[in-house]
Every structure is written in structure tokens, then in C-alpha cells.
Structure 1
Amino acid sequence: MTQNKDNKPNFFRTIAKNRKLILLALLVIFLFLGYRYYNSNKEDTSTLDYNTNLIQQQILNVGKLVVTEGHFAEVITYKDKDKYLMDMISFEKKAIVIVNADVTVAYDLHLIKYDIDEKNKTITIKNIPKEEIKISPDLQYFDVQQSKMNPFTAEDYNKINKIVKANLAKKIEKSSLKSNAQNRLISELSKILIITNTMGWKLQYEGLEIQKETDFNQKIKL
């Protein structure tokens, strides 16, 4: 019993004697853990910044003018008649017009608007620009018939241009030109989807999470 009592004071004396060494060891451990924690957070932040910059660069690469071209041709006959003396006398003018038109459907992807949520690792496409349709008709006139009483004027040529463009617009709607342009648009947007999927981020558009290329079809309408 006496030996145990003697050892007890010796234990506390040993702790007291090495108190500074123990405190120094605890301080080293604390600093080491703090250093590991700091470096861990720093690495996460650096990785997040890197991922964000990479995604932004990919969106910039997508940001270009996507143009789909088509060609249309048609023949129209333009007629106009001036009547006098209660329609007893009339003067007619007419012409056959051959139309060759180049048409482009373009998407300016520089105008894409998006938001990056770094915390939730989510890219939200807020706006995709509408298609721009440009019609460039070349008109050739044949079998032009007119009179001094009813000659062709600038008003006639403007009217013919309007008729031609209206007819071409109907042809474009019935053709595959717009759908082809939309497919090219989706192909470009899918480049953003690929990079977000690769990096474990999410891509959203109009409330829908885009997980595959065909998901764009549900939201992008012709």
C-alpha cells in the first residue's frame, strides 16, 4: 500500500516536470490539424474556381453564329389592271418573275444568357436567342407587258418583292431548313452539357434539368 502511495506523487511530479513538453506537443498537433484543414478548404476552393472557369470558357467557345443555308426557286406571274369609264376601258400590265433566293437561318449564340451557381454546381441557361431568318431574293423579269397609261412603277416592284418574300416564308415553314438549323443549335448547346456532366455539375433550362441532348427538344421550339 505504501508503494502505491509513493508512486502516485511521482506520476504527478513527472507530468508537472514535463508540462511544457506536453503543451508544446499539443500545440504542434493543433497547428498540424489546422494546416491540414486550411489546405483542404483551399484545395476545394481552387478546384471550384478551376471548374467554373472551365465551364465559362466552354460557353464562350459555343458562343458563335450558327448559320444554316438553303436555296429556293419559284415562278410567279404578276398582273395589274387600271380601269376607266366604268370599266369600259382597261390598261393591263403583267410580267413573269423568276425567283432564285438564298435563305439563311441563324442563331447568334453570343447572346446566350446564363447563370452559374457555384455552391450547388448548377449552370442555368436563362435565354437562348431566337432564330434570325434572312431572305435574299434575286428576281428576273420576263415577258413584261405594259402601256403608257399603266406602266411599271417602283410601287409595283415593291409589291412584287413583298409577294415573293411572303411566298418564300411559306416555303421555308414547310421545308426542313428550320429544323436543320435547330438541330445544329442543339448540337452546339450539347457541348455545354458534355462539360457539365463530365465535371459532375447540373445543367438547367426553363425549369428542366438537361441530362441528355434530346431534353433540349422539349424546350426549344421552332
Structure 2
Amino acid sequence: MKSVKDDVIKTKRSYLEEFKYFGTKLKGLAEAAENYHVVLAENRKLYNEVQDLKGNIRVYCRIRPFLPGQNQSHTTIEFVGEDGELVVSNPLKQGKENRKLFKFNKVFGQATSQEEVFKDTQPLIRSVLDGYNVCIFAYGQTGSGKTYTMSGPGLLSKSDWGVNYRALHDLFHISQTRRSSIVYEVGVQMVEIYNEQVRDLLSSNGPQKRYPFSLVYCILPVPPQ
């Protein structure tokens, strides 16, 4: 009888020691998780402060290469500097009017890939997930390469993706990595501005619908623990 009692006491003591050990470990994990979120928040804050220091408004220039059949000797680009300088010449004008110097945040040459263009806008795009407003648009005359840069020539090859598709892919990827602690709600609108008219491309009533425009939501939930 005494032997059984001793075994029970020994087992109870062993359980208490194990519970104490697990409690210490859980406390350490909880503190580590809390510190991790603090460090993560500080890193995001510093990251966005760096983006602010680089400038809230940035202007890039991408030089479109010659299309098949075009005379490559008829270029107006005289000089492309590494610091964003671009010199354009006009053979129809003389003297000082013959050349003009433009200054951008960066100039992408004819051989620049879609990925290289995206890398310069990627830091701004990632700031969206931290609550910042970001707008990226392409401006230029017809045939200058706006659609190619923003959407790409096709979706079959990832290397052809433009800024739009790369941005969405990046945002969804980051949101998935943070899904254990943050729930993101993604909304999409598609509008077209043509002949000074704004059309809703997601409207079931046709493209003539005016403001307010349709909004499609996608909620990325936190998985069960």
C-alpha cells in the first residue's frame, strides 16, 4: 500500500514539474511572439519612412524600343544619364531649341525588362498593406507603350507581366504571409476614361454606368489556430 502511495506522489510531482516546465516555455513563446510583432511593426514603420524620404511623387521615363519595320536611325534620344537625365533632340529646330534636357527620378532604357521596371515601384506598392495610399499610372501618347508597361503583352509567361499583374501577385503573396495576425480586405474597381467619359467596366448594366462604380471585394481570412 505504501509503495502505491509513493508511486502516486512521485507521479504527481513529475506532472507538476512538467506543467511548470511547459508553462515557462509557453511564457517564453508568448513574449517572443509579442516582441516579434513589435519589431515587425517598427520595421514596417521604418520601411515606409524610407519611402517618404525618397519622395512621395516620383516620375519615371521608359524609352520604347523601335518596332519591327521602323527606321532605327530616326531616333531623337541623344543621351540617357544614370541619374535620371535624358537629352532629346529635334532635328527640325536649330540652336538651343534643338536639344532639351529632361530630369526624372529614373530613366529606363530600351532593353529594360518588365521585372526591372516593377522593382522600382514595388516598395511603394507594398506600402499599401500598411495603410498608405498609392497611385501608379502610365502617361503618354498612343503607341508609346503604356499598356505594355502596365499590363504586358500577355499572361502566358510571368516575365511578360506588367506592373498591374506583378503588383497584385505581390500583394496577395505578402497578405498570405501575414495571415496569422492580419485580415486583409481587397477591393477592385475597373474604370475606363475615354473621350473625357468615365465608364465602369465591372457594371452589369453596361459600360455607360456612371459613379458610384462597382466594387468587387475579396476577404483574406485568418486561418483557424
Task: Return the TM-score normalized by structure 2.
Answer: 0.33
Higher strand share: 1
- 1 or 2, which has the higher helix percentage? 1
Higher relative contact order (CA 8 A, sep 6+): 1
Q: Structure 1 length normalisation: TM-score?
A: 0.33
Larger radius of gyration: 1
